[in-house]
Chains A and B, each alone.
Chain A
Amino acid sequence: MFLPALLGALINLNGSGRYIHWGFIQISVANFVVIILMIVVFVLAILLPFPKRKRDGQ
């Protein structure tokens, strides 16, 4: 009972897809979320410092 809930999708994917309509632009919520995630990861990759390994004598 617990394992399927753990391994299953966080959102019920069995229903019909949800879409965002904005003028002539139409995009599924799933694709929109992925694009936003990519932008967030891109910005974080630029801003976050890269970890440095400490060496002897430094």
Chain B
Amino acid sequence: MSIDTGVPAETPARASTPEESRQWTARMRHAAESAFPPDQLLPDRQPAYMASWIYVFGVLTVVSLAWVIITGCILAIMGPSWWHVSSTGHFVNSLHLWSVEAFFFFMVIHLWGKFFMAAWRGNRRLTWATGVISFLVSVGAAFTGYLSQQNFDSQWISTQAKDGINSTGAGSVFNVLNFGQMLMWHIVLLPIGVAIIAGLHVLLVRRHGIVPPFAVGDGDAAAETPATTTTTAPAGEPA
């Protein structure tokens, strides 16, 4: 880091000196600015072909995930004696369940839409891959959530699952009959995984833009056109 010499700070837009450009903070800043220019990160215009209902399921999935996390945090704050006994606790517990149902409902439709659009076209392979991984980690998060219900349903699911998981050898490190371990996976490890991968997925969508339909350009090269160069409609205002 540079030493403060007492000289008044210059404008942030000034060019970096060679010494500064070697610092890891400067390199990270330049890499972030290069990868995610502000106008791409928070665009105010989108391509005209985005004016279709099939493009809304990604954001619906993100909104559902936000509800899952918010209700999960409330459940964690109040504890099992609250969500098992009180009416409000039952209500928030149900909100947590139904937001998960909505999350998977919208995510699967989003997946179908992107599959039939071949959304990996135009150098969007990593966007597709992070979506797939996010889906798989979400399945794990939902599964451990079912195991954490503390009712007959969770007992049934865990005793049915143990044979399948033990047959893979994973049971030695992932014991579905160990409630404490499953709860920790559900409220710590897997939510962190889903949040990080889904966040990366959204950033990649911003970086490469939404995939154009086949009618715009059939080839892979045609799909590489960045979204910012084909914008015709303000964001949130379909053309």
Contacts and interface: CB of A to CB of B under 8 A. Distances in A.
Interface of A: 34, 37-38, 41-42, 44-46, 48, 50-53
A38 B102 CA distance: 11
B2 interface: no
B109 A53 contact: no
11 contacts: A41-B109, A42-B109, A42-B112, A45-B54, A45-B56, A45-B57, A50-B51, A50-B53, A52-B51, A53-B237, A53-B238
Contact of A38 (B53, B109, B238): B109
Contacts, number: 34
Contacts of A48: 53
A49 to B, nearest CB: 9
Contacts of A38: 105, 108-109
A52 B53 CA distance: 12
Contacts of A46: 52-54
A50 B51 CA distance: 6
A46 B239 CA distance: 17
B113 interface: yes
**Interchain residue pairs A-B with the least CB separation, the first 7:** A45-B53, A50-B51, A45-B54, A42-B109, A50-B52, A50-B238, A42-B112
Interface string B35-73: 000000000000000011110110000000000000000
Interface string B103-120: 001001100110000000
Given A50-B238, A51-B238, A44 B53 contact: yes
B115 to A, nearest CB: 11
Nearest to B239: A52
B67 to A, nearest CB: 18
Select the residue from B53, B105, B109, B239 with max chain A CB neighbours within 10 A: B53
A15 B112 CA distance: 33
